[in-house]
């Protein structure tokens, strides 16, 4: 299994792991980050979330070779607070998110994530869910498709592409990835297609819609922040501007002084921000990492730390 964990050393260093740390890996995947975390917390515990059953089975075996102090939870990370409560966990020392699609998922032809291989349209992280890429492409209205392509893919030619998809599917259903790529090419013309590669943005948009990625991220970040102990850290690795914008905005908001007392010279402790940014600018992949893995190019790591407990006034 070929899998490369992006920004691994930076993420591990940012978590400030201790032997007894309680850590959450919100995106277990194939266990690249999780296995390194587990090595560093022999007296602690790792709680890991994932929707992909294949990834869970692989990571289970990988982590068992290191220790038994871990729990894998088959659930969407937006259920993190609720699921951890079932294990009587209300506070943790660190949380890691490595967003996006892992290399094995992209490279696995049967998953339908890649626009470079002839695959069935799928793109589900959770293979048990009903909604997949085929359903999105063949049943969503032209307006809905245009909206998804524009907002989730930031694609300038969204309207043309949505219109062409609806016209083509009237002739026959669009079932395979390369069929969809060809429809996109017909919609925008060869010059635009080969210059801007809109298939990348369209596939990203469909994947986000199928897996509700941005909705889940919006929902989970405030919960993740609330789970941190004092000095606990939340680390998030993003791979495109939409994810990064959400993380940046939530982190900035958590670190700002309450608007009510913003202009007071000496802000009372109870109104001071309970979080701080660890890095003013996100960390990005080193030149060495970029040589090893080109998919690291768009990765950004943002980190936030709790400096005061909720309700702490002195």
Quickly state the pLDDT bin for 104 (edges 50, 70, 90).
low
- The CATH superfamily of 8-98+217-306 is Vaccinia Virus protein VP39 (3.40.50.150)
Residue closest to 38 by CA, chosen among 14, 5, 71: 71
CATH topology classification for 109-211: DNA polymerase; domain 1 (1.10.150)
- Can you give the residue ranges of every domain in the chain? 8-98+217-306, 109-211
In whole angstroms, what is the distance from residue 106 CA to residue 173 CA?
23
Q: Say which residue, 279 or 294, is predicted with more confidence.
A: 279
Find the helix or strand (DSSP H, E) in which 233 lies. strand 228-238
d(CA 293, CA 312): 44
Q: For residues 146 and 138, what is the distance between their CA atoms, to the nearest angstrom?
A: 13
pLDDT of residue 22: 98
pLDDT at res. 314: 42
How far is C-alpha 43 from the geometric centre of its chain's CA atoms?
28
Reduced to 3 states (helix: H, G, I; strand: E, B; else coil), residue 228 is strand
- Residues 147-167: what's their mean pLDDT? 97
- Residues 25-45, mean pLDDT to the nearest whole number: 96
Domains 8-98+217-306 and 109-211 share a fold: no
- Percentage above 90 pLDDT, the chain: 76
Ranges 61-75, 93-107, 170-184, 195-209: which has the least confidence = 93-107
Q: What is the mean pLDDT of the chain?
A: 91
pLDDT at 4: 64
Q: What is the mean pLDDT of residues 251-267?
A: 79
Q: Is pLDDT of 107 > 60?
A: no
Listed as own residue / partner, the contacts of 50-53 with beta carbons closer than 8 Å and 24 or more positions apart are 50/74, 51/75, 51/76, 51/125, 51/126, 51/211, 52/105, 52/125, 52/126, 52/127, 53/126, 53/127, 53/128
Burial of 101 from C-beta contacts in 10 A (0-12 / 13-18 / 19+): buried
**What's the pLDDT score for residue 102?**
60
As a whole number of angstroms, the distance between CA 48 and CA 36 comes to: 13
Quick check: 146 pLDDT over 50?
A: yes
pTM score, whole prediction: 0.90
pLDDT in tens, 170-229: 999 999 999 999 999 999 999 999 999 999 999 999 999 999 999 999 999 999 999 999
């Amino acid at each position: 299994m070929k899998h490369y964990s992006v920004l691994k050393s930076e993420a591990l260093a940012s978590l400030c792991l201790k032997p007894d740390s309680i850590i959450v890996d919100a995106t277990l995947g194939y266990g690249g980050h999780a296995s390194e975390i587990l090595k560093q917390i022999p007296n602690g515990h790792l709680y890991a979330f994932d929707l992909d059953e294949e990834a869970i089975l692989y990571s289970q075996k990988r982590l068992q070779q290191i220790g038994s102090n871990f729990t894998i939870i088959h659930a969407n990370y937006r259920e993190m607070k609720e699921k951890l409560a079932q294990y009587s966990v209300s506070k943790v020392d660190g949380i890691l998110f490595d967003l996006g699609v892992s290399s094995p998922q992209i490279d696995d032809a049967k998953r339908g994530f890649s626009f470079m291989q002839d695959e069935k349209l799928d793109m589900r992280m959770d293979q048990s869910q009903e909604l997949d890429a085929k359903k999105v492409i063949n049943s969503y209205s032209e307006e809905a498709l245009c909206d998804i392509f524009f907002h989730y893919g930031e694609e300038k030619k969204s309207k043309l592409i949505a219109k062409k998809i609806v016209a083509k599917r009237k002739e026959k259903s669009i079932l395979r990835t390369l069929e969809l790529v060809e429809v996109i090419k017909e919609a925008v013309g060869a010059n635009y297609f080969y210059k801007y590669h809109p298939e990348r943005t369209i596939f990203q948009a469909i994947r986000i819609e199928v897996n509700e990625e941005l909705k889940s991220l919006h929902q989970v970040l405030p919960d993740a922040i609330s789970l941190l102990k004092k000095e606990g850290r939340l680390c998030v690795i993003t791979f495109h501007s939409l994810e990064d914008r959400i993380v940046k905005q939530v982190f900035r908001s958590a670190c700002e002084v309450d608007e009510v007392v913003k202009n007071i010279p000496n802000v009372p402790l109870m109104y001071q921000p309970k979080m701080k940014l660890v890095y003013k600018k996100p960390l990005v992949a080193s030149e060495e990492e970029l040589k090893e893995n080109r998919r690291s190019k768009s990765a950004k790591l943002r980190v936030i730390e709790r400096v005061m407990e909720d309700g702490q006034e002195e």
